[in-house]
Amino acid sequence: MIARTAARHGAVIASGVRVESLVREGKRVVGVKARDVESGKLITIKATTTVMCAGIWSDQLHKSFGLKAGYNVTMSKGVHIVLPKRAINSKEGVILKTSVSVLFLIPWADKWIVGTTDTPYTGDCAKPLAERSDVDYILNEANKILKPKLKAADIIGVYAGLRPLVANKTDSDTTQLSREHTVDLSAPGFVSIAGGKYTTYRVMGKDVIDLAVAKSSAKVPESVTDKLPIIGADGYFALMQQVDRIADANGLGADVITHLLNRYGSLISDLLELIDKYPQLAKPLAKDLPYLKS
């Protein structure tokens, strides 16, 4: 949705494309050579400034490009468990301070998400896995305040992810910005960003683009990402007031319409048009769940 929003405002989006090398003129980076993974074609893309947002792969890519960044990225694994609504007797979310981190108990539709862990990780970047010790830690910490206590048998899902934690080098030419992320100019025409998290991505986007623009001769207006609605946000609240009417008009349950609005916002009209044209797309994927074949 973020990419589609950018495209609406003039960005050119290329998915399924992998950067293989940088294009240089002397010491300056002037673009990239990228591979279309579907066709295999090698494409040269020129740019005044190239920005790399690679998270846990930042160190690996800096090395492959022959660049010395002003920071290193250390991976930290975070694990969450998913529980049915009945497992926790509360209507509100809970935040707990543990001896090593913070634990969140978050209501999510008809379920709960409980986590997270914060442990060093040195394995395969692409395959972080939750271990029994991770799950036991979450259960033990949550059970310090819960009655009845959670059991492993209550868990209906477990997932793990990796955080790119940034460590700045004392002798580096970096800019430390707020919200625990760092932007770095490791070569003329090449800016990278690491750290941060989904909840601060707007600030991260503004900071890295502002630096990229500041290092070019182009006159570009200040970033307005903090004021820009994501595609589908326009009209969302008005549509949420019309759930029953939309459900009746399309022969779908109110729970399904609510689910689609929360996923796609006002773009729900695109899905409903598809369902009208191909009614089989309205069939549920699983009993008692709001997911459709569309």
Please report, for residues 88, 158, 250, the alpha-carbon distance to residue 138 in angstroms, rounded to integers and kept in the order given: 14, 11, 42
pLDDT tens-digit readout, 186-242: 999 999 999 988 888 999 999 999 999 887 777 888 888 888 999 999 999 999 999
What CA–CA distance (Å, rounded) separates 56 from 164?
Answer: 5
What is the per-residue pLDDT for 113? 97
What is the per-residue pLDDT for 81? 97
Contact 68, 186 (CB under 8 A): yes
Backbone angles phi, psi at 219, to 5 degrees: -95, 110
Query: Under 8 Å CB-to-CB from 138, ≥6 apart: which residues?
Result: 79, 80, 81, 103, 114, 115, 116, 117
For domain 74-164, which architecture applies?
2-Layer Sandwich (3.30)
What CA–CA distance (Å, rounded) separates 204 from 208?
Answer: 6
Crossing angle of the two packed helices 268-277 and 254-264, in degrees rounded to 10: 130
pLDDT tops 80 at residue 170 = no
pLDDT tens-digit readout, 83-126: 999 999 998 999 999 888 889 999 998 899 999 898 889 889 99
Give the pLDDT mean for 134-160: 96
Which of 44-48, 125-129, 174-178, 179-183 is least confident? 174-178
First CA to last CA across the chain, in angstroms? 17
The rounded percent of the chain whose pLDDT value lies above 70 is 96
Contact 282, 294 (CB under 8 A): yes
Q: Is the pTM of this model over 0.85?
A: no
Nearest CA to 66 out of 188, 170, 175, 186 is that of: 186
What CA–CA distance (Å, rounded) separates 65 from 68?
Answer: 9
- Tell whether domain 2-70+169-227 is in CATH 3.20.20.140: no
Q: Coil, strand, or helix at residue 189? A: coil
